[in-house]
Amino acid sequence: MAKVTIGGREYEVEVRGDKVVVDGHEYTVSVREEAGYATVNAGGVAYRVQLPPAGERQSGMALQVDYRPFTLAFEGRLSGGAAPRESRQSPGATGGAQRAAVKGAVTAQIAGRVISIKVAAGQVVARGDLLLILEAMKMENEIKAPADGVVKEITVAEGGRVAEGDTLIVIE
């Protein structure tokens, strides 16, 4: 068990194999390493997590979750590679004050669930093209490209939940 502080909030975190318990709530976790970041799925929600190199990971380290900057501090032992990632994700939906502006980011205007993604990374899009469909309050909302460009990254997965302000897609 470890005490984790992120974004000024404190959490009790325990890693149990592919499960992480945060303040008594258990989440099933999977981690997919990418070039320069990891995609972490916790409780059915995908997060883009950027950490320092493995040898530099320690209490007080800076990281990004869905392009939002955080400082992670912990007391106790965080066992397993996924522990720091999981503790970050639960608090990751805490609010707009911690969100970083990312050039080309298309963000969720309302909390909801991603129904379908209509584009792929590397695809050329024009202003107004349909990027994805987000279900919120029992309504399907079309998320469209705000400008011409190329889809640099898709930060969500179909079926995943997002909070208001979360980055969905990055367009260059």
Average pLDDT over residues 94-118: 71
Dmax (CA) of the chain: 50
Asked if residues 97 and 129 have their Cβ atoms less than 8 Å apart, the reply is: no
The DSSP symbol for 100 reads: P
Q: What percent of the chain lies above the pLDDT cut of 90?
A: 20
**Same structural domain, 87 and 38:** yes
Give the residue from 38, 68, 96 where a domain finishes: 96
Task: Considering only residues 8 and 100, tell me which one the structure prediction assigns the higher pLDDT.
Answer: 8
**pLDDT, tens only, 120-135:** 999 999 999 999 999 8
123 and 43 fall within a common domain: no
What is the average pLDDT score of the chain? 78
Residue 140 belongs to domain spanning: 105-171
Model confidence over 37-94: pLDDT tens digits?
888 887 778 888 887 776 777 777 788 888 888 787 877 766 544 333 333 333 333 3
Mark whether 31 and 71 lie in a shared domain.
yes
pLDDT at 99 over 60: no
The radius of gyration of the chain from alpha carbons, rounded to an integer in Å, stands at 16
Length of the chain: 172
Position 141 pLDDT exceeds 60: yes
Do 27 and 56 sit in the same domain of this protein?
Answer: yes
Residues 63 and 142 placed together within one structural domain of the fold: no
Q: Mark which of 49, 77, 96 sits at the end of a domain.
A: 96
Our count of domains for the chain comes to 2
Whether residues 48 and 88 fall in one domain: yes
Same domain, 20 and 73: yes
Please tell me whether residues 82 and 7 are part of one structural domain: yes
CA distances for 162 relative to 57, 111, 159, angstroms: 27, 5, 10
Of 49, 78, 96, at which residue does a domain stop? 96
